[in-house]
Chain A
């Protein structure tokens, strides 16, 4: 078995050093975010596309130059992945993706079409529609989807560059709720599988990787931790540990004990 060094993480035509992808929201400050990004080792971070606040600009300007998120992300090292968070229809998501491409000069998009405000579960029907349109326009589409193997297959058929099933509702921290579905999606999919959302702590990320995920995307688990920088490092280690364990091939589960020491030569035998 080749060591981790020769285990590249490739999506579309890009190779990433880290299998951990992180968000940029909900941090106590931009400075803490930058430190957490560093500790996470992630070389891809996702950002939301939003209207520039016009009415608040005059106050922001008198207080000095408005602080920009991009001042805290070293884009020479970190790949920016625009997302369509908060979009509720295919049309909104498509427009947002196009704007993100123009703002970031990247034709990649983490595609989200939300179906319900309370659960933030995806609207898979709209998601597939938007994926088809954006793939035709040359986008590399990474769709956030339900942990449903059939939907994942349809997204793959629509040209998605990866599938990103949720482990649990966004921001819930519940961990992977349907382990078996993730396992089946792994078996079915020919594109990278990234578990997106639901991670609460390091063991959740390790489990995702042990199930065969190619990567994990998270935001709240790091940003919302009491110490985001330490949690970012924990997640980095968990993702690496889980990946190594997956590739190493675990022992089969058995109901009864198997001795690890030889029986021959026992004292008193």
Chain B
């Protein structure tokens, strides 16, 4: 699961490869892997296994407001 949606990925891919595939700049996001925040230095060495839950987040505009409930 990726950001709460089913996502198909070639077996053996790492977090780093997933970010590249999605064209996401890894310096501007944070990744949660099975409910644990993953250190940036571990992106390359962390393989994604079948059934893993991955969240990729970034910063968006917001102040004191309840913009879009963040479903976790």
| Interface residues of A, Cβ cutoff 8 Å to B | 22-27, 30, 33, 46-55, 57, 61, 68-70, 80, 82-83, 85-88, 91-92, 95-96, 98-104, 112, 114, 117, 120, 144, 166, 170-171, 196-197, 217-220, 223
Contacts and interface: CB of A to CB of B under 8 A. Distances in A.
Contacts of A53: 3
B4 A46 contact: no
Interface of B: 2-5, 7, 22-24, 28-32, 35, 37-40, 55-70, 72
B26 to A, nearest CB: 10
A217 B62 CA distance: 12
A114 B39 CA distance: 28
Closest 6 CB pairs of A and B: A23-B63, A219-B63, A48-B62, A103-B30, A102-B30, A24-B61
A55 B5 contact: yes
A50 B5 contact: no
A95 B72 contact: yes
Contacts of A117: 66
Contacts of B72: 91-92, 95-96
B65 A27 contact: no
Nearest to B4: A51
